[in-house]
Amino acid sequence: MSMTTGSGRGYSSEINVTPMIDILLVLLIIFMVIVPVTPKGLDALVPKPPKTEEPQLPQPRTIVVQVLHRAGEAPAYKINDTDYAKSDLLPKLTAIYANRAERVMFVKGDDGIDFRYVAEVIDIGRAANVDHVGLMTPKGSVSE
């Protein structure tokens, strides 16, 4: 390390690093205060055991709601081949999709059914928190 004496008249070509170190220490303290000290993880919910002791049957993965045409009467409704009244569709679909991660429902209408009944089933599915609704048609029903 060299030292200059005060006798020299002129500029010194040495870099003064003291201000840079001061700035570095101030920035280090600021970043230490900003960054939280305690690590924070993701909140996780632990599944609770069922309240009832009766064994539960596994639910089918694909849910198909059928709107069946009845001549001269209101249409009949089925969820996976089980008959339901129209008023029972919303509570049943809400119960089905309550614990599902995959919220997909298919709606299948008969050939002679008015589309408003299919639209009502889609609205009921949306009210039951269904994310995706697919429409099914009978095979060979597409006209060319």
pLDDT tens profile 81-139: 888 888 889 999 998 888 888 888 999 988 888 888 889 999 999 998 888 888 887 66
Residue 128 domain flag: yes
CATH at residue 124:
3.30.420.270
Residue 88 domain flag: yes
For the cut 60, the answer to whether the pLDDT of residue 142 exceeds it is: no
Which residues is 68 bridged to in the sheet? 76
User: What's the pLDDT at 71?
Assistant: 80
Residue 75 domain flag: yes
User: What's the pLDDT at 3?
Assistant: 56
Residue 93 domain flag: yes
User: What's the pLDDT at 143?
Assistant: 46
Counting the structural domains of the chain, the total is: 1
Residue 68 domain flag: yes
- Distance between CA atoms of residues 135 and 74, nearest Å: 20
* 3-state DSSP assignment of residue 79: strand
pTM given for the model? 0.54
> Of 103, 22, 31, 110, nearest to 66 (Cα)?
110
Domain residues for 73?
A: 63-136
Residue 27 domain flag: no
Judge contact between 75 and 68, C-beta under 8 A.
yes
User: What's the pLDDT at 25?
Assistant: 95
Residue 95 domain flag: yes
Sheet holding 82-84, edge to edge: 82-84, 76-79, 63-68, 104-109, 132-136
Instruction: Determine the average pLDDT of the residues in 32-38.
Output: 76
Bigger pLDDT: 56 vs 91: 91
Residue type, 7: S
